[in-house]
């Protein structure tokens, strides 16, 4: 009888914590930096941090209350366009119902000769030919997708010989 009692006590002692171990909550997102910290409507801003989730899913981003459209999303980096009508303020993220805010982003006016409007549909990514009357080498910027997304807003530099012989 004594042995049965000790077995029962031991089982209760080891299984009781299992009843109180609830489901682990998702970790809160944290914003560590934004780049750039200012720019006009349409600027691509990189929001760096942790716990953003591998994909956007139902997560949202806004700039000072104006909904912003992410163009790339990983667990540590979000690329987002400064939305039309936005005013200076913080980017706010909501990931799995948990919020995070960034440092202040300053919305600057567009140059007077620029327009803040649609000018047509976006073309398909591909290649093209660059012609120049100059002989030699030149630097060309090509889009490079954000890891894990179809965004082509990160730019990297590639050098191309424009003319081999003039």
CA-based nearest residue to 71, from 60, 79, 83: 79
CA distances from 91 to 47, 106, 121, 165 (A): 9, 11, 27, 50
Q: Which residues of 62-71 are buried (b: 16+ CB within 10 A; e: fewer)?
A: bbbeeebebb
Domain spans in the chain, listed from the N-terminal domain onward? 32-107
Query: If pLDDT is split at 50, 70 and 90, which confidence band does 31 have?
Result: very high
What is the fold, at CATH topology level, of the domain defined by 32-107? Immunoglobulin-like (2.60.40)
* 113: pLDDT strictly greater than 70: yes
pLDDT value for 158: 34
CA-based nearest residue to 51, from 81, 82, 74, 34: 74
CA-based Rg of the chain, rounded to a whole angstrom?
A: 26
* Signed CA dihedral, 59, 68, 74, 104: sign only: negative
| Token representation of residue 72 | 């790339």
Q: What is the mean pLDDT of residues 45-51?
A: 97
Query: If pLDDT is split at 50, 70 and 90, which confidence band does 67 have?
Result: very high
- What 3-state class would DSSP assign to 46? strand
**Predicted TM-score (pTM) of this structure:** 0.58
For 114-136, what is each residue's pLDDT tens digit? 766 666 666 655 555 555 444 44
């Amino acid at each position: 009888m004594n042995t049965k009692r000790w077995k029962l006590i031991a089982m209760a002692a080891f299984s009781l914590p299992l009843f109180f171990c609830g489901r682990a909550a998702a970790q809160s997102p944290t914003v560590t930096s934004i780049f750039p910290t200012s720019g006009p409507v349409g600027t691509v801003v990189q929001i760096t941090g942790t716990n953003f989730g591998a994909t956007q899913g139902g997560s949202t981003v806004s700039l000072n209350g104006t909904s912003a459209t992410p163009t790339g999303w990983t667990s540590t980096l979000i690329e987002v366009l400064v939305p039309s009508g936005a005013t200076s303020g913080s980017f706010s993220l909501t990931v799995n119902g948990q919020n995070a805010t960034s440092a202040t982003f300053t919305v600057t006016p567009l140059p007077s000769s620029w327009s803040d409007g649609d000018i047509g549909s976006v073309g398909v990514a591909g290649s093209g030919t660059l012609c120049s009357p100059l002989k030699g080498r030149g630097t060309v910027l090509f889009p490079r997708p954000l890891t894990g997304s179809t965004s082509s807003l990160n730019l990297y530099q590639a050098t191309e010989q424009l003319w081999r012989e003039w």
